[in-house]
Amino acid sequence: MLKYMEFTAKTEDEAIAKGLAHLGLDRDDVSVEILERGKTGFLGIGSVPAKVKLTYEAPDEPASPIVEEKSAPAPKPEKPAALKAERPAPKPRSEAKPAAEKPAPRSGPADDDVAAAIVKFQTGLFEHMGVEAVSVVTREGDTYQVVLEGENIGALIGHRGETLDAIQQLTGYAVNKGRSHRVRIHVDAEGYRARREESLNRLARKTAGKVVKYRRNITLEAMNAYERHVIHTALQDYPGVSTFSTGTEPNRRTVVAYDPGKM
């Protein structure tokens, strides 16, 4: 289900960052539409805040918390009951922290239920693929880092990481199914992500230089969500340049746009 929210801030980039933080999503998880460009005015007089519209895809379950947050101020008399219900929450969280820290130095199944679900799904997947590999899971906040170890791991990377991306996407679908709180899962093997990120960062800076020099937008080749995210991140603070994605999968592309407002 497609949903959207509008956010305002001093500049377009600040409004986008504000929206992404509120939604808990990455830049490439949303489609950005600039409704109003920010204007500084003269000596602060006549300034106009920037307004952006972020469209994103959300399952039916996560939609309810957003509605509840808006309607929360109305039932004020029920606040004491709500507080009582929320008090036990810290206990599971405090218990979850040791479980999240244990997987870091070890491989195989973890005590954390999400990490265990990742290992279980990928073990079954690799059996169907006829590949012997072990999933080593660590956690940083809501992000689970999975490193695949074994022989002939190159077969799990594929051309330009396509197989690795497919494993990551399938794992995310399987683990997040039925969960109201979405967790992020990054899958890597043989340091492929780091090498690919370095290559994409060089491409991003080279393209941004051309955009500023010739003052025209440049559309990059079709990339997957991970690669587009790397481009967005690499250029988020680049002077005179902004980025956005266009098109539909699997031909979604990143546009590096000339933005004199960021000069």
Instruction: Give residue limits of the domains in the chain.
Output: 2-76, 94-190, 194-262
pLDDT of residue 10: 83
Residue type, 204: A
CATH topology of domain 194-262: Ribosomal Protein S8; Chain: A, domain 1 (3.30.1370)
CATH topology of domain 94-190: GMP Synthetase; Chain A, domain 3 (3.30.300)
> CA separation (Å) from 8 to 40, 94, 206?
14, 35, 31
Helix (H) or strand (E) holding 33: strand 30-36
pLDDT of residue 204: 96
Average pLDDT score over the chain: 79
Q: What tens digit of pLDDT does each residue of 115-148 get?
A: 999 999 999 999 998 888 999 999 888 789 999 9
pLDDT at position 57 over 80: no
Rounded to whole angstroms, how far apart are CA atoms 207 and 198? 14
pLDDT at position 24 over 70: yes
Q: What tens digit of pLDDT does each residue of 26-46 get?
A: 777 777 778 887 777 655 566
Residue type, 169: Q
pLDDT at position 60 over 80: no
Query: Residue 111: which pLDDT band, with cuts at 50, 70 and 90?
Result: low
Angle (CA) 186 192 195, round 5° = 115
pLDDT of residue 199: 94
pLDDT of residue 37: 78
pLDDT of residue 99: 43
Q: What tens digit of pLDDT does each residue of 203-253 get?
A: 999 999 999 999 999 999 998 887 898 999 999 999 999 999 988 888 899
State pTM to two decimals: 0.53
